[in-house]
Structure 1
Amino acid sequence: MFVDKAKIYVKGGDGGDGLVAFRRELYVPEGGPAGGDGGDGGDVVFQVDEGLRTLMDFRYQKHFKATRGEKGRNKSQHGANAEDMIVRVPPGTVVFDDDTGEMVADLTQHGQAVVIAKGGRGGRGNTRFKSSVNTAPAVAENGEEGQERWVTLELKVMADVGLVGFPSVGKSTLLSVVSGARPKIGAYHFTTLTPNLGVVELGDDRSFVMADLPGLIEGAHAGVGLGHEFLRHVERTRVIVHVVDMSGLEGRDPFEDWVKINEELKLYNLKLTERPQIVAANKMDMPESEDNLTAFKDKLAEVRSDIEVFPISSLTRAGVPELLYKTAEVLASAPDPAELAAQEAREAEEAEGVVYRLEHREEVHDYTISRDNEAFVVEGESIERLLRRTQFGSYEAVMRFARIMRKIGLDADLRKRGAKNGSTIRIGDFEFEFFEGGEQEYLYEEE
């Protein structure tokens, strides 16, 4: 079964907790803090494996979680970092964030790897909190939680040549004739529902991969019929071989068929009109084909003089070798769509400029305060991250958290919003009690 779309859950490993420990050695009565940092959690990394061709494996395993970093150790030893989780994907896999729809990665080359869910940093041990004021701190941090997200994987077939055209024009038959592929062939529309790949050997040490792609219908660019399920595969092909039924047996005009297919390609992605294209005028063994071919060439010359037309018959194989040699010739000078896409991404990034941001562990100034009945709700990614890293089982850690809240002005902001002694303050999954102590206000964890 060919599977070209999947939705999976990924989560980076949590960081290991920092440790509170002190030196306990003979003749060292005041050895000082000796708690080590926790190890970093493992990343979830997607890596391209050219041996894979579909996303079938993701039908049976949909959750990928990296391991957690080790806790800090005594004697100031750092906990071990967790190993990354390597998830192998076929070339041509595009990864999208399921919530935002933003493209996370476009994986095309064998061995290419990208971090999809980053592991959390390890928490600092109490050794890191030693200062001239506090020489024996009993405070450490929890490890950060690893990044988690749902992502959608879409596979765009990596083929050199793509066969496009209306249903039943002979694409599958042509592929079976020129390669070892054996696609399903039938005398009815939509015989091909998924892409079929075949390797074409020319006998002069030249070869290329050809894909028989599902037939198009009008409105495909908007998702009608197979719609986007077909069109996304065309984006990866370097050369388009447009198969046209010249017999006209079903009452269709060959030139109108060519126009409609190209219009669908244009509406889906304008850059597909720039892709090298060859017309394979198929079913030339039928009675009306010669007259239709003459009319087709005349009309085509009026709109696209750069496209060559090769009359062939997949049934008798007449004209097929000439088509293949021309395809190989065009392919030799055709640009790689994956490289073009990468270049466009680099140019867009350069145009926008690269912004460098200084990372700071205690940067928690961005927050909002709202009311939920009698409770004051404080929300902010940075402040919630600090909250998760605080080990509330330690009195010193609680006081440190309270000092940071005072320092950034949260206490004063809460007082302005009406918080009084005993008011409930909710931050994330934690609730605190606002306490006015003399000239300063601070928070402590509610028992």
Structure 2
Amino acid sequence: MDAFDSEVRNFLQKWPEIEFVDLVFTDINACPRGKRIPIKALAKVKKGVPLPVSTISLNMAGSVVEEAGLGEELGEPDHLCFPIPNTLTRTVNPNVAQLLLTMMDASGEKPTSLFIRNVLEDLQKQLHSKGQYPVVALELEFYLVDKSRMDNGLVKPAFNPKKRMQEKDTAVYDIENLDDYAEFLSDLNTAAAEQELNTSGALSESAPGQFEINFNHQKDVLNACDQVLLAKRLIRQVAHQHNFDVTFMAKPFAHEAGNGQHIHLSVVDEAGNNLFSDQNGAASPFFYQTLAAMIHAVPSSIALLCPNVNSYRRFSAGSYTPTKADWGHNHRGVALRIPMSDSNNRRIEHRIAGADVNPYILASVVLANVLAAEKFTPEQCPDPLSETAPSMPTRMSDALAELERGEFGDYLPKEFLHIYHACKQSELAEFESAVTPLEVEWMLHTA
């Protein structure tokens, strides 16, 4: 019996009531796509599930972006998708399980470099071959919101189930706010435990109805990203059970804090020694080389970390979001924060991405920076909180231009970058062609 057969058998012994399985495949935006099959058909999945390769290049609305070149031009060919080990879990529906898939080429023998999870796996292998083992922990922010919308179509704050009123007051780390949503959080934590998600609890964040879920650090970067995908799906499902909607938009409210997806990074050797610290416990040369590589890469990586027009609305001074390519110790306003820690736990918190980022792309950018560290000297790392730190691109068009002429082609497959750029350029063009209520209000009688 192979590993997948064993995983299925053990799962069904534990959850015999399961009748269906959602086969979940993610597009370039990490939106879950797929199909639901009877549990009796699950054993056949190990032979490969044919799915159009064009499903990688879906836009946020779920339509194929023909400019990416994977659709009609090729005749919508299928590639084979296979189960990701140890991702067969329950959902909140007691009769339905879920399983993540990864895409290979048409023969089913070679991972396609068009699928970002495969790219991340290759980056991790490259670092392991150098004796460097990334350790990551992710933080994911989200808003519970009302299922109805404002008259103008914008998002309405959540209706507080205990106070019986619409949320409106900001209270950072508000324990009472957690009590107000105790039933939702309890069901979320229970379901997360049943799915064996590597989470360490939720806390109230910087705005009404906003929460953050933290993941424990781990050396398996691929699994860490898988966990984020499963957690986002779980949060949505539990929220709907409690008559909430939920959003991971980077900036759902104009005058409230945005949603971030931060990633903490350290790098250890095979024995588990932190390579960001030297033998005396001080920051190592490799630590400063990695910081230098990350800062150098900020302009060309912003488009990958901020995939939507809304992503850029999150950046503003005074809101604990970065506006410059800088770093600092124990400072939440920088792009790269060095949290308080001892020498064994020295790490870098990458704070640029919003909650709308594809976690595999976020991790790929970070690991590519670690690979690039050897090209930099410690002396090339700027001073913390440098006054001369360059400003980050804060418009999607500028970020895409930086990506097109940037250096990530040295570490990420050029064919993947081409597809990503084509998809995002298409979305930007569609957004910019839309007439908004604000411009009508401003110009209807004054232009």
**TM-score, structure 2 length as denominator?**
0.22
Q: Which has the larger radius of gyration?
A: 1
Bigger relative contact order (CA 8 A; separation at least 6)? 2
